[in-house]
Structures are given as C-alpha cells and as structure tokens.
A = this chain, B = another copy of it.
C-alpha cells in the first residue's frame, strides 16, 4: 500500500499511556462540610481523635453479666441471676454488675461496670420478678463492642487519595469530623474546534454544518470523574485562534481537552498549536486504539492537554479510557476505581488487528453481548450500546461464543 506522507504519527499503546502519561499537577485543596464530602477525595488521611464508639456498648437487647456466672448454663440447668437494674440506651450506666447479678441493657446501651458480656434476651427467661434464668453460656466479649473497637485514637478513619464512600462518611460523622480537606474538582477546559461546528442551540444549520456534540458530553464524563467541566467555546480551524484559547485554558485550568477537528489539516493545527505553548511537550500523537487513533496527549507547564479525535464517538471512547483517569489523578486519586463488569457470551466474531486495543460497543440481552458495529462517525453506535468490550492489544479478535467481560454503562 502506498502512503501519502500524511500518516504523521506513530501510535503508542493504551497501557503505556495509562502508566506513563501521568501528570504531576494536582488540583487545589478545598475544605468542605461532611454533608457534601461523599465522592470527594481527601487530601490527607483522616485520623480518629478519640476512641470510637467511645464506651463499651451492648450490641443486643439482653442482660449484662459476668460471663463466668453463665458457664455451664443450659436449658436443663439454667443459671439464675438477680436483676440489679437497667441501663437505657443513651444513658450513663449507674449500676454495676457483681457476682450472680445481671443488669438489663438495650442494644447500643453502655455496658455497666463489672460486666464483660451481654446475654441475648432470647436466651433468657424471667424466672420470677427480679430473677432471670440464663439458658446458654456467654464468653467474655459476647454481645458487646469495646470502646475502641471501631477505631482507636489516631487510627485512620479514611485514607487520602480515594473518594469517600457512604460508609467513610458514616464513620467520620460518628467520630465528629464535620469538615474534610479534599481536592478541588479539577477544572477541565473543553475546547471545541472546527469550521463546521455550531453551538447545540443553533436551530437551523447551513448545509455542511453540525452541532457541537462534544463540549457537553465530554463535560458529563469529566464530571463523572470528579471534574468541573468548563466549556471554552468553539474555535474555527485557525491556528492562531486556537493558540490564544489554549494559552488561556492552560493558565486557568487543571486539565485541557481539545475536541479536534478531524480533518488532516485540523489535526496538524492542533499539534502545532500545542507545540507553540510555552513549556509544552507532546507525549504522543497517535494511540493504538480503535476507535480513537488520532489522539494527542501533551503537557504545557505541567497541565495535561488531551487532543481528542474529531469523531464524537471516538472522542467519547478515548476520553472514557484515557481522559477520565487523567482527571481523577489530577483530582487527587492515587488509585483507580475497580470497574465491575458483566460477564456475557459474545454473539458474533470480533475481528481485530494485533497490536491495537479495540473498544467494541455491545448491546446486552440476557447473557449475550451483541456487538454494535458502524462507522466511528455515528453516535448511534454508542447510544445503542449497553456497555463495551475491550479486545486487548495482542489479540487478533475474539470468537463468537467466547465469554467476555462487558463494562456496563451506568
């Protein structure tokens, strides 16, 4: 096959991009109230200041006892204990447990002094007023949690670098942490380019024009990755205009995304405009991925610049695989989320070239994954899909009937 000299890029592998195209830049630190902290990334580990729950508590409804007083108890030979009083949940235990005595406690109530276990009410019976029968022995520690069993003083309640989950927020509330230092949502500038591109609110398009599908949808993915999308307008295919917008974006943002025109000329312009920025470095121009080969990854002054392919479908695929991890990293994530998959049986053969990672859209029906094919210019290939399958770089395809892991769209 003849070439024209326009295949200007040497593709790098997706795995390389994920492991080596890693900006050092981090977004600023914000202090936020706990109410809005779920999903935010702590800038430092959060430690307990005091033991949690703070006092020995009953975990069941029952009777606080000295465990040794119940040893050998059974239905046939119950242990008889005198009832010395009760501790209400939320109240101070002002009665002690001594030998052969029991104190009634509700779930969550403070353990009375002298007790080392709680017998569940189901394993007791009131023999006569003021006396209970215990029909099953308990061991020390049964039916209670210790004062520091959830966390000792100084214990780590939540790590840095991983978004707070509901349970993390719960333990922080329990520990009285009501404000958290988190990474600010990285500001993600999104620049649309192309002479043919018009704003989505354009009612009537002239022939040859299309609306900007990417600013808002790449913005949605940026937000999903914890970013704060900032659409920076539509720039015509004009290198100087693009340079001006890029300079401003690099100065004001944590991540810059260019939705490149997809013509050869436009691709050239993007690379040239990025190269003209001060302290810029083009990490790659071309990724071994389908769709999405004409991807540009660069830095300028430490700020990552992601040049997406012009086809909306390719752009969305590349931003999901490469852009979202960049936004997360800049936003303080030190681990990547574990993406769950749905196991399904491939409904037909997937051809692929070795050395290239293929992202194949699939429709799920029952336990079958039906590939959705079509030109990368078509958005309907993506909107018709329930998830995607990755054909890894070494593979030359996947046969019909093979079990595959489908990454579901939420």
Residues of A within 8 A of B (CB): 1-4, 6-7, 34-35, 38-39, 52-55, 57, 59, 61, 75, 87-93, 106-110, 121-125, 135, 145, 149-151, 157-158, 163, 165-178, 194-197, 200-203, 205-221, 223-224, 231, 237, 261-266, 310-313, 316, 320, 337-343, 364, 375-380, 382-383, 385-387, 406-410
Determine if B208 and A173 form an interchain contact, defined as CB atoms under 8 angstroms apart: no
| Residues on B with beta carbons closer than 8 Å to the beta carbon of A59 | 311, 375-377
Nearest B-chain residue to A170, judged by Cβ? B217
Determine if A219 and B89 form an interchain contact, defined as CB atoms under 8 angstroms apart: no
25 A-B contacts (beta carbon < 8 Å)? A2-B75, A2-B122, A2-B135, A3-B122, A59-B376, A90-B197, A92-B207, A106-B264, A107-B311, A108-B263, A121-B264, A151-B380, A167-B313, A167-B409, A170-B217, A171-B380, A172-B200, A173-B213, A173-B215, A175-B211, A176-B202, A337-B408, A338-B342, A339-B340, A343-B343
Contact A364:B379 (CB < 8 A) given known A200-B176, A210-B108, A263-B89: no
| Residues on B with beta carbons closer than 8 Å to the beta carbon of A169 | 216-217, 220
Contact A208:B110 (CB < 8 A) given known A90-B196, A121-B6, A167-B382: yes
Known: A171-B379, A171-B382, A339-B408. 9 other contacts (CB 8 A): A1-B122, A87-B208, A149-B378, A150-B378, A165-B220, A166-B316, A170-B316, A174-B213, A341-B341
Determine if B386 and A338 form an interchain contact, defined as CB atoms under 8 angstroms apart: yes
| Closest Cβ–Cβ distance, residue A103 to chain B (whole Å) | 13
Nearest B-chain residue to A386, judged by Cβ? B338
| Residues on B with beta carbons closer than 8 Å to the beta carbon of A206 | 92
Contact A123:B1 (CB < 8 A) given known A92-B208, A210-B54, A375-B59: yes
Determine if A150 and B107 form an interchain contact, defined as CB atoms under 8 angstroms apart: no
- With beta carbons under 8 angstroms apart, the residue of B121, B135, B220 that contacts A38 is B220
- With beta carbons under 8 angstroms apart, the residue of B89, B210, B211, B214 that contacts A196 is B89
Determine if A410 and B194 form an interchain contact, defined as CB atoms under 8 angstroms apart: no
| Closest Cβ–Cβ distance, residue A190 to chain B (whole Å) | 11
| Distance between Cα atoms of A320 and B167 in the complex (Å) | 11
Nearest B-chain residue to A144, judged by Cβ? B375
| Distance between Cα atoms of A208 and B108 in the complex (Å) | 8
| Residues on B with beta carbons closer than 8 Å to the beta carbon of A172 | 200
Determine if B1 and A108 form an interchain contact, defined as CB atoms under 8 angstroms apart: no
| Distance between Cα atoms of A168 and B381 in the complex (Å) | 11
- With beta carbons under 8 angstroms apart, the residue of B171, B194, B340, B409 that contacts A165 is B409
| Residues on B with beta carbons closer than 8 Å to the beta carbon of A313 | 167
Determine if A89 and B195 form an interchain contact, defined as CB atoms under 8 angstroms apart: yes
The 5 tightest CB contacts between A and B, nearest first, are A340-B340, A90-B196, A38-B220, A106-B263, A170-B217
Nearest B-chain residue to A384, judged by Cβ? B167
Contact A410:B163 (CB < 8 A) given known A55-B208, A196-B108, A217-B173: yes
Q: Which of A210, A231, A339 has the most CB of B within 10 A?
A: A210
Nearest B-chain residue to A361, judged by Cβ? B167
| Distance between Cα atoms of A311 and B89 in the complex (Å) | 13
Determine if A166 and B218 form an interchain contact, defined as CB atoms under 8 angstroms apart: yes
Q: Which of A2, A108, A158 has the most CB of B within 10 A?
A: A108
